[in-house]
Structure 1
Amino acid sequence: MRSVISIILLFAFSSAFAQEQAPKLDTGDTAWMIVATAFVMLMTLPGLAISYGGMAKRKDTLNTIAMSFVSYCLVSILWIIYGYSLTFGQDVAGLIGSPSKVFLNGVDVKSLQGTIPEFIFAMFQLTFGAITVALISGSFVERMKFSAWLLFVFLWFSLVYVPVAHWVWGNGFWAKLGALDFAGGTVVHINAGIAGLVGALVLGRRKEKTLIPNNLPMVVIGAGLLWFGWFGFNAGSAVASNELAAIAFLNTNTATAIAALSWMFAEWLHAKKPTVLGLASGAIAGLVAITPAAGFVNVLGAIVIGFLSGIASYFMVAVVKHKFGYDDALDVFGIHGIAGMLGAILTGIFADPSVNPAGKGLIYGNSAQVLIQLLAVGITIIYDAVMTFLILVVIKGLVGLRVSPEEEIVGLDKSQHGESSYNLG
């Protein structure tokens, strides 16, 4: 009898423990993640769109904005059809997710991802894919056919973004290796930067390759919206309204502010003038660099990362780019690629286990983390560069990549869309 009672009590205890451990919806986390998702969407539309549009020539403003706009639209559909499943579905050999959730199959209003509805988690991750593809357009502006861009978005998102995102966030080999990327330094920024560089080399130089923003206030407003939206990007990657989101929020602002200043002073010393475009560019460099580290480092780490990213990105844009002569029109590689690499590697140095037990860097006794970060960054660069090149070769064979010289001189607003950005009197 005693043994029977013991079994009953054990069963009751086990059932109660299982219920306690079962995922449970948290309305506070859910509310925060809805807001964070809207923040990240704002980064693409209108943040990136008007920032890039303001930097392009007046005759190419609308086309530049349209590239970001259509990227968001296309990725929104592709993500639902197969992107979410292949990124976050059950891992297959460390390389890709299973197709079990195509068209969000099996996801309903009661499905949870941690403490939030899975629908919200899927939507949050969608916005990351959209801005990654849109970022690349900055390297291609003023010379790429709109039809070629549509094909590029489809192919690059499917063959580059989705696999790399799975490697890092979908329990792929990156995650199993122990590499750290809190909010997308590699998935988003190194990916976009390398694709932008390869595309700029394949497309070749523009006929008029100067960068004189047609509307600098638009650029600054766009950069401000990106800064604002980035709080959702980084703090939202905690996927909860908690202390990790709080430190990611603070680190994001700190690194961004000091990067804007370090770029400004570097430019002031080198070019003798502190430009407003430089301030905005430095802020973006800081946002990029702190992205992989936001939920792993303390505030001192954020300061160092921000300071170095502003200087490194300025040097790449103002010196190296001009020395080698490649036409990365809006400096996607110089800012996103370089700051993304720097941030990913420095995460391996400054990751503080008292901030996040999941990360322990070099200065806290784990020298191997730097090597892991370097390996993961290197693999991503090689895969991205090779795949981007092949994708561009295929598109060139199908529809061609560049507009004609005459269309480029007229401007892509007229030649690709039959419209004009500024219809003044």
Structure 2
Amino acid sequence: MNAADTAWIIVATALVLFMTLPGLALFYGGLVRARNVLSVFMQCFSIAALMSVLWLAFGYSIAFGEGNAFWGGLNKAFLAGITAETNRDNLPEVLFFAFQMTFAIITPALIVGAYVERISYGFIMTFSGLWMLICYAPVAHWIWGGGLLAGAEWSLFEAGVNDFAGGIVVHQTAGLAALILAAVLGPRQDKSKPPHNPGMVMIGAAMLWVGWFGFNGGSQLAADGTAAMAITVTHLSAAAASLTWALWERIRFGKSSLVGMVTGTIAGLASITPASGSIGPVEALIIGGIAGIMCQELCGAIKHGLNIDDTLDVFAVHGVGGMFGIVMLALLGHADWTAQLGGLAVVGAWTALTTTVLIYAVKLAFPIRVDQEAEHTGLDLASHGERAYDITS
């Protein structure tokens, strides 16, 4: 074990958990109406707790066990055979487990943004748990665990997919699942209300920005120059996307909004995620600069062109951003085109299949949507018996 590497990944693990709790919860919570903010907090917090237990039970073994090309098996279920002294490369394996657990937490939590203000709590808890085990964990094995897309002896592509921190594993899977779930769920009764607390949105986005240093920098699994460069390019891409989103918004609408600018920040962060271990600062500015405009255009195309109420733009920002970063790696000469596009196609098909099957299977046991009265009252009171504020909007 390397003490410096271990110390850095301990910090990175805390940073990635910080992205979900409280970062993502505040970011999404500020974007909904006041009568639904606690439901978003509850969903994010509950998903974090459930994924932690399921990752220990089965998820880690499926993703990183010594199985075959398709899954890791169950030989490491409940951390069987792993102690504080067990190594994985240069780290304690229990720390590697914890770091990857924070990824398994945030990926289904990202999907929350697609279904806020109208989904039933029982459905989303059941769906999220099964989705992490059946969709996310196998994909993590395929790319990060030596499986189907990793360039190993049984890989589909000789070069292997280059996905440093989760453009495919995290953002494509979450984005596609969000789009499909939003389409099946249907739109909100009233889509006219603006975010109830833009300040909360900004605070959450700022926490995500900081946490992303652990997300991308920690993915090197070492305290070295590549980790330092990953943090640097992550920051620059976020900055560039923030500026181009705000500029494009001003060109289109005459004003630059705070909510828009920080959404651009997240687009830049998602887009740089798969590329952060391979590129330099100028390339990061290019990726972020394009992402700020591209993802903004896709937000409108999804809502108005496809008429899908992906409420907080999970697919347009995370899904499109992550896939864009995967493609840019090939375009900039850091990855093989066949592997990158093939990886997107294989994982896209798997995500669409598993997500669709799980939605309709879980619907047999739990209603997917709250009734009209509960939606009108707000999920805070209807589902959880609490209010965030003395007055509602």
TM above 0.5, yes or no, is yes
Determine the structure 2 residue equivalent to 1:12: none
* CA distance in 2 between partners of 1:319 and 1:395 (Å): 29
- Would you say the 8 A contact 2:249–2:256 is kept in 1? yes
Number of residues of Structure 1 aligned to a counterpart in Structure 2 = 385
- Would you say the 8 A contact 1:211–1:329 is kept in 2? no
* CA distance in 1 between partners of 2:310 and 2:231 (Å): 30
Residues 347-358 of structure 1 aligned to structure 2 (within 5 Å): 347-351=329-333
Asked if 1:262 is matched to 2:244, the reply is yes
Determine the structure 1 residue equivalent to 2:82: 107
Asked if 1:321 is matched to 2:308, the reply is no
Asked if 1:154 is matched to 2:121, the reply is no
Determine the structure 2 residue equivalent to 1:402: 369
Determine the structure 2 residue equivalent to 1:411: 378
- Would you say the 8 A contact 2:302–2:310 is kept in 1? no
* CA distance in 2 between partners of 1:199 and 1:220 (Å): 26
Pick closer, same or farther for the CA change 1:280–1:211 going to 2, 3 Å.
Answer: farther
Of the three residues 97, 105, 109, the one matched with 1:122 is: 97
Of the three residues 117, 120, 130, the one matched with 1:145 is: 120
SS of alignment partner, residue 91 of structure 1:
coil
Of the three residues 249, 270, 273, the one matched with 1:288 is: 270
Asked if 1:74 is matched to 2:50, the reply is yes
CA distances 1:332-384 after superposition (whole Å, capped 9, x unpaired) = 01100111110111112225xxxxxxxx34xxxxxxx1222111111111111
Stretch of structure 1 that moved more, 321-330 or 132-141: 321-330
TM-score by length of 2: 0.96
Pick closer, same or farther for the CA change 1:290–1:211 going to 2, 3 Å.
Answer: farther
- Would you say the 8 A contact 1:91–1:170 is kept in 2? no
Of the three residues 225, 231, 238, the one matched with 1:243 is: 225
* CA distance in 2 between partners of 1:293 and 1:415 (Å): 43
Pick closer, same or farther for the CA change 1:89–1:211 going to 2, 3 Å.
Answer: farther
* CA distance in 1 between partners of 2:165 and 2:24 (Å): 18
Return the letter of the residue paired with 1:74. Answer: L
What's the CA shift for 1:113? 1.4
Residues 128-277 of structure 1 aligned to structure 2 (within 5 Å): 128-176=103-151, 177=157, 178-210=160-192, 212-277=194-259
CA distances 1:124-164 after superposition (whole Å, capped 9, x unpaired) = 00000100010001101111000001111111011101111
* CA distance in 1 between partners of 2:344 and 2:306 (Å): 23
Of the three residues 24, 43, 49, the one matched with 1:48 is: 24
Return the letter of the residue paired with 2:45. Answer: F
CA distances 1:245-294 after superposition (whole Å, capped 9, x unpaired) = 01101110011100111111111111221111111000000000000000
Return the letter of the residue paired with 2:123. Answer: A
What's the CA shift for 1:210? 3.0
Return the letter of the residue paired with 1:44. Answer: T
Q: Relative contact order (C-alpha < 8 Å, sep 6+): which is higher?
A: 2
* CA distance in 2 between partners of 1:139 and 1:245 (Å): 32
Return the letter of the residue paired with 1:339. Answer: G
What's the CA shift for 1:65? 1.1
* CA distance in 2 between partners of 1:55 and 1:231 (Å): 24
Pick closer, same or farther for the CA change 1:211–1:374 going to 2, 3 Å.
Answer: farther
Determine the structure 1 residue equivalent to 2:320: 338
* CA distance in 1 between partners of 2:235 and 2:355 (Å): 32
* CA distance in 1 between partners of 2:288 and 2:32 (Å): 26
Q: Structure 1: which 5+ residue stretches go unaligned? A: 1-24, 352-359, 362-368
CA distances 1:75-129 after superposition (whole Å, capped 9, x unpaired) = 000011111111101131x110021111100110111111111111100000001
* CA distance in 1 between partners of 2:321 and 2:360 (Å): 28
SS of alignment partner, residue 279 of structure 2:
coil
- Would you say the 8 A contact 1:111–1:118 is kept in 2? yes
TM-score by length of 1: 0.89
The 4+ residue runs of structure 1 with deviation greater than 3 A are none
What is the CA RMSD across the aligned residues, in angstroms? Answer: 1.2
Determine the structure 1 residue equivalent to 2:7: 31
- Would you say the 8 A contact 2:180–2:352 is kept in 1? yes
SS of alignment partner, residue 97 of structure 1:
coil
Of the three residues 329, 346, 350, the one matched with 1:379 is: 346
SS of alignment partner, residue 199 of structure 2:
helix
Return the letter of the residue paired with 1:122. Answer: F
Pick closer, same or farther for the CA change 1:77–1:286 going to 2, 3 Å.
Answer: same
- Would you say the 8 A contact 1:91–1:171 is kept in 2? no
* CA distance in 2 between partners of 1:103 and 1:141 (Å): 32
SS of alignment partner, residue 162 of structure 2:
coil
Return the letter of the residue paired with 1:370. Answer: W
